[in-house]
């Protein structure tokens, strides 16, 4: 690991000023992607700007028709929150399956969203629920936020401060995990909005990261049941392929996990 300065601001203004003074620096949230990359010398920021002490980036609350989660909230805190369990129980259950206890005790929702790992569970929830990602300068719809593998619409120096999840009528989530890494080979989130629309989001399977399945959404809007999509398939083209699963297998998993998610929706 390369030498670096460790900085811990207490406000967004201070964090931005520190980045201006250290243009090669990186914001640090949970660090579960950045720190391993630094250990492997794949990244060498001149400074780590730890956002964990920044005011206004913590807290979980229902505000109006949305569940609002501060970006610095750790996975464990979200998974065990009575507020989350009462508002969107499937979200609490989903977060409880992220990684292992060590990851859940350090990783944060803001770090996960900003990193946009193709197998990250939060991306599926954000897309399925039609979430809004709140930053220090604007509000971004989930459909516009995720922009491909490890890529988002965040501008240089922009900081995620919170995520707003609209309260659904019901939601289900199922994933097929690699037994060693626990990353999802395929995860599917299905949510029916209070207005009756349905959104289906997939992580882990797509070559370009999280994506929605319009054909499943149309069928489920007409009939929210696993049977409604039992004969529907997604094309293998566009699926990821690696030593763990090829394109055809991942395409098959999308249908299986989607049907299980619908059956489990609550």
- Pick from 167, 184, 196: nearest CA to 89: 167
- Pick from 230, 265, 236: nearest CA to 251: 236
- What kind of architecture, by CATH, is found in domain 170-264? 2-Layer Sandwich (3.30)
Cβ–Cβ under 8 Å, residues 132 and 108 = no
The token pair that represents 217 in the structure block: 């959404």
pLDDT tens by residue, the chain, 266 residues: 678 999 999 999 999 999 999 999 999 998 777 887 888 887 888 999 999 999 999 999 999 999 999 999 999 999 999 999 999 999 999 999 998 898 899 999 999 999 999 999 999 999 999 999 999 999 999 999 999 999 999 999 999 999 999 999 999 999 999 888 778 999 999 999 999 999 999 999 999 999 999 999 999 999 999 999 999 999 999 999 999 999 999 999 999 999 999 999 99
Per-residue pLDDT, 1: 67
Classify 206 as helix, strand or coil: strand
Per-residue pLDDT, 230: 97
Query: Model-level pTM?
Result: 0.95
Q: How many CB atoms lie within 10 A of CB 247?
A: 17
Per-residue pLDDT, 171: 98
Instruction: Select 60-166's CATH number: 3.40.50.720, 3.40.190.10, 3.30.465.10, 3.30.930.10.
Output: 3.30.465.10
Q: How many CB atoms lie within 10 A of CB 36?
A: 11
What are the contacts of 139-146 at 24+ separation with CB within 8 A? 143/212, 145/113, 146/116, 146/209, 146/210
Q: Is 160 left (phi over 0), alpha (psi -120 to 50) or beta?
A: beta
Q: What is the DSSP letter of 108?
A: B
Per-residue pLDDT, 180: 81
The token pair that represents 87 in the structure block: 């508002």
Cβ–Cβ under 8 Å, residues 261 and 174 = yes
Per-residue pLDDT, 134: 98
Per-residue pLDDT, 89: 98
Class of domain 5-49: alpha beta
Per-residue pLDDT, 88: 98
Do the first three CATH levels of 5-49 and 60-166 match, i.e. the same topology? no
Q: What is the DSSP letter of 155?
A: P
CA distance 159 to 247: 35
Per-residue pLDDT, 40: 83
Domain boundaries, the chain: 5-49, 60-166, 170-264
């Amino acid at each position: 690991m390369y030498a670096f300065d460790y900085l811990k601001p207490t406000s967004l203004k201070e964090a931005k000023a520190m980045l201006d003074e250290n243009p090669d620096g990186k914001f640090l949230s949970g660090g579960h992607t950045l720190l391993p990359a630094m250990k492997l010398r794949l990244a060498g920021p001149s400074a780590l700007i730890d956002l964990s002490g920044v005011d206004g980036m913590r807290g979980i609350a229902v505000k109006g028709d949305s569940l609002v989660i501060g970006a610095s909230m750790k996975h464990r805190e979200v998974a065990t929150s009575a507020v989350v369990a009462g508002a969107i129980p499937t979200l609490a259950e989903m977060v409880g399956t992220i990684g292992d206890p060590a990851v859940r005790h350090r990783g944060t929702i803001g770090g996960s969203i900003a990193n946009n790992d193709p197998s990250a569970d939060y991306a599926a929830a954000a897309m399925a629920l039609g979430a809004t990602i709140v930053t220090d300068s604007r509000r971004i719809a989930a459909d516009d936020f995720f922009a491909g593998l490890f890529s988002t619409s965040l501008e240089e120096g922009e900081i995620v401060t919170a995520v707003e999840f609209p309260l659904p009528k019901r939601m289900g989530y199922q994933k097929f995990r690699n037994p060693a890494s626990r990353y999802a080979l395929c995860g599917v989130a299905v949510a029916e909005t209070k207005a009756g629309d349905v959104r289906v989001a997939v992580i882990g399977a797509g070559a370009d990261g999280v994506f929605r399945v319009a054909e499943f959404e149309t069928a489920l809007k007409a009939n929210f049941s696993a049977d409604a999509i039992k004969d529907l398939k997604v094309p293998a083209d566009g699926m990821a392929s690696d030593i763990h699963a090829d394109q055809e297998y991942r395409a098959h998993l999308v249908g299986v996990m989607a049907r299980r998610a619908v059956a489990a929706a609550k």
